[in-house]
Amino acid sequence: MSRPVRVRFAPSPTGIPHIGNMRTALFNWLFARHSDGKFILRIEDTDQTRKVEGAIEKIYESLGWLGLEWDEGPDVGGDSGPYMQSERLDYYQSAAKRLVEQGDAYHCYCSSERLAEMRAEQSKRKEPPRYDRTCRELTAGQRAQKEAEGLASVVRYKIPFEGITSFDDEVYGYVEFQNALLDDYVILKSDGFPTYHLANVVDDHMMQISHVIRADEWLSSTPKHVLLYKALEYNSPKYAHMPMTFGKDKAKLSKRHGATALLDYKDMGYLPEAMINFLVLLGWSLDDKTEIFSRDDLIQHFSLDRISKTGAVFNAEKLNWFNGYYIRQLTTDELIERVMPLLDAQLPADVKRPIDTEYLKEIIPLIHERLKLLTEITEFVSFFFVDDIEHKADELIGKKMTQDSSIAVLEASLPKLESLAKFDTESLEQVLRPLAEELGLKTGQLFGTLRVATTGKTVAPPLFQTMEVLGQDKCLKRIGLALEKLKGMD
């Protein structure tokens, strides 16, 4: 019988989670949910020198924003804890000791200075950098002498000189490496902390991880892990290596391509639904046409055999398209709930708090279709809430219009708008459309001048609906101020 599915996301708190990290988390989470398995969060904090303050909290926040809840982890517990590697040192040291005792690993006493000189010489000879195995065959007496001298040591795994190490990958199929090309790598550092290679193997075994799903940059490290599993007599998990993500220029993804910390996208106004849909398509597809997936769709359809071997391209424009799509799927009430914190933080202090939700319900339908980022909301709606707007005289003068013709538009509009008993879209259209013909203007010219006069913007929601929501008093006041601005240009 196959093992129950248990997968893990094991970030290091050496930085803030970025797009690549979170794609790995998403693929693991989807596979766990599709398979009725467990998604485990493990913090790999053995590199104490590079640990970043607050990084663990950002890991929790990033996963939480995407809704990737974990079944076991440092904060929720579980039967396989502890889930912080720095709390598991005894396990790694015990495994390293066992490997040394059975002849599969050895103590290396080479100083960092000697190793640097060795690599420099190898570089001169245009050889790949690797340990020269000076300490591999030290006798017991030689080791005892070095210990007596107080020399610090690391533990290195003893790679076989010949043969191949192979494994089956769920994405790449059969993979093999020549042992002669592998290095005797460090598994335990002199401070007693393990390297990634030893720690992840010991932890994955003890946490009964069934599948290791990670980026294919780890593919070349996998033979080292396979050898460790064999030496420690552990059952090896199945491997699935995801393709790298590149920018449009086919270079490795970096900040210049738009990739940054995941939470930066939250701050920029992206929806988690859009981000999940975007991330899953960076290396996975259901077919050659389906692009929109709900969370339930993804859980139903996600499988490892649909992961591509081809590198994925990070396309910021596509992410924006997804975000606009998912914003449009929100109801008015849902969108208000998402943008309310932004409006509360960004609208001027003199705007009454709490912000009028019923008023927002009139406004949101006017701008809903145009919104691509949640953070655009304040720019789109601020003129509805403030008492005074700024008129730019040059914007009040529309295309192929003059100061005089713009003044004429406003002067002619005021009495017609003042006379309206009902200030709604239909009534506004009935009086303003004929006015353009009376003034010998195109409707776009007249509407453009009124748009700037009433909103302070050259681009705004549909004019009549906007004026209706603004109300008669506010529109008349603003048109009057715009008229003063135009007349004061002389």
- Catalogue the active-site residues: 255
Q: What is the Cβ-side half-sphere exposure of residue 188, based on CA atoms within 13 angstroms?
A: 26
Rounded CA-CA distance 83/60 in Å is 13
Closest by alpha carbon to 479, among 458, 455, 460?
A: 455
Strands (E), 42-199: 105-108, 154-157, 164-169, 173-178, 186-188
For residue 374, give the 3-state DSSP assignment: helix
Q: Find the radius of gyration of the CA atoms of the chain.
A: 32
Amino acid at 486: L
Closest by alpha carbon to 314, among 270, 281, 290?
A: 281
CB neighbours (10 Å) of residue 327? 26
- CA distances 143 to 95, 132, 140, 304, Å, are 20, 17, 5, 47
At 479, list the tokens.
Answer: 């048109």
Strands (E), 269-358: 312-313
Rounded CA-CA distance 303/284 in Å is 9
Rounded CA-CA distance 198/123 in Å is 27
Residue appearing with tokens 């970030």: 11
Q: In what order do the strands lie in the sheet with 154-157?
A: 105-108, 154-157, 186-188
Residue 356 phi, psi dihedral angles, 5° rounding: -70, 105
- CA distances 161 to 179, 315, 328, Å, are 6, 44, 61
For residue 23, give the 3-state DSSP assignment: helix
Contacts of 198 (CB under 8 A, 6+ apart): 92, 95, 96, 187, 188, 228
Closest by alpha carbon to 53, among 6, 17, 92, 13?
A: 13
Residue 221 burial (10 A CB sphere; 0-12, 13-18, 19+): middle
At 17, list the tokens.
Answer: 């989670």
